[in-house]
A = this chain, B = another copy of it.
Amino acid sequence: MLHIVNKSPFSSQALDSCVQVAPGGDLLLIEDGVYAASSGTVADNFMRDILKRFRVFALGPDLEARGLADRLIDGITPVDYAGFVDLVARNKTCQSWL
């Protein structure tokens, strides 16, 4: 299934909770959630661990808005809104970790 996280990993526990509950699958970072996709932060290693269990995507327009487009952690795939739709279509269900 698809898990969607829209909160900064530096201010919210949402991403933590998501990856602790979900066994794996697709994980899409949107809105302030994309800060977790940026390399060189204290959440960097945490995200690299997540990549071992999840296919991780980040919404490109949200990365660009926040000036992060050039700092994506290796292995995270940027997607546009069409890619977001494809991710939802290709998974039976999705859960937004609000």
Q: Which residues of A contact B (CB under 8 A)?
A: 10-14
What DSSP secondary structure best describes chain A's contact surface?
Answer: loop
- Nearest 6 A/B pairs, CB to CB: A11-B13, A12-B12, A11-B12, A10-B13, A12-B13, A11-B14
A-B contact pairs, 6 of them (CB 8 A): A10-B13, A11-B12, A11-B13, A11-B14, A12-B12, A12-B13
Q: In the complex the two chains form, what is the Cα distance from A13 to B43 in whole Å? A: 14
Q: How far is the CB of A36 from chain B (nearest CB, A)?
A: 14
Q: Which residue of B lies closest to A14 (CB)?
A: B11
Q: In the complex the two chains form, what is the Cα distance from A11 to B11 in whole Å? A: 8
- Chain B contacts for A10, CB-based, 8 A: 13
Q: How far is the CB of A97 from chain B (nearest CB, A)?
A: 11
- Chain B contacts for A11, CB-based, 8 A: 12-14
Q: In the complex the two chains form, what is the Cα distance from A10 to B11 in whole Å? A: 11
